[in-house]
Amino acid sequence: MMDRLDYPAIGETLYETVLPNGLTVLVSPKPEYAKSYAFFATRYGGAMRRFSLEGRKIDTPAGVAHFLEHKMFDMPEGNALALLSQNGASPNAYTAGGITAYHFESTQGFYENLDILLRFVSTPYFTAESVDKEQGIIGQEIRMTEDNPYFALYYALMRALYDHHPVRDSVAGTVESIAEISPEILYSCHKVFYVPSNMVLCVAGDVDPEAVASAAGRILPSERSAVPEPDYGAPEALTPASARVKLAMDVSAPQFLIGGKVPSPGGGTEMLRQTLICELALRCLVGRSSPFYTGLYAEGLLRADFGYGEDFSCGTAFFELGGESADPGRVLERFSAEVRRVSENGLEREVFERARRADYGLTLRSLGNFQGLCRSLADGAMSGYRFLDVFELSRSLSADDCAEYIRENFAPERLALAAVMPRGPKG
Query: Which positions are catalytic?
Result: 69
Which three-class secondary structure string do you get for the chain?
A: CCEEEEECCCCEEEEEEECCCCCEEEEEECCCCCCEEEEEEECCCCCCCEEEECCEEEECCCCHHHHHHHHCCEECCEEHHHHHHHCCEEEEEEECCCCEEEEEEECCCHHHHHHHHHHHHHCCCCCHHHHHHHHHHHHHHHHHHHCCHHHHHHHHHHHHHCCCCHHHCCCCCCHHHHCCCCHHHHHHHHHHHCCHHHEEEEEEECCCHHHHHHHHHHHCCCCCCCCCEECCCCCCCCCCCCCEEEEEECCCCCEEEEEEECCCCCCCHHHHHHHHHHHHHHHHHHCCCCHHHHHHHHCCCCCCCCEEEEEEECCEEEEEEEEECCCHHHHHHHHHHHHHHHHHHCCCHHHHHHHHHHHHHHHHHHCCCHHHHHHHHHHHHHHCCCHHHHHHHHHHCCHHHHHHHHHHHCCHHHEEEEEEEECCCCC
Contact 88, 155 (CB under 8 A): no
Beta bridge partners of 204: 28, 37
Query: What is the phi/psi pair of residue 409, to 5°?
Result: -125, -15
Q: Could you tell me the end-to-end alpha-carbon distance of the chain, in angstroms, rounded to an integer?
A: 72
300-305 CB contacts, 8 Å cutoff, 24+ apart: 300/326, 301/325, 301/326, 301/327, 301/330, 301/331, 301/334, 302/331
Contact 260, 410 (CB under 8 A): yes
Q: Give how far Cα 14 sits from Cα of 17, 325, 365, 367, 387, Å.
A: 10, 43, 17, 12, 10
Return d(Cα 127, Cα 132) in angstroms, integer: 9
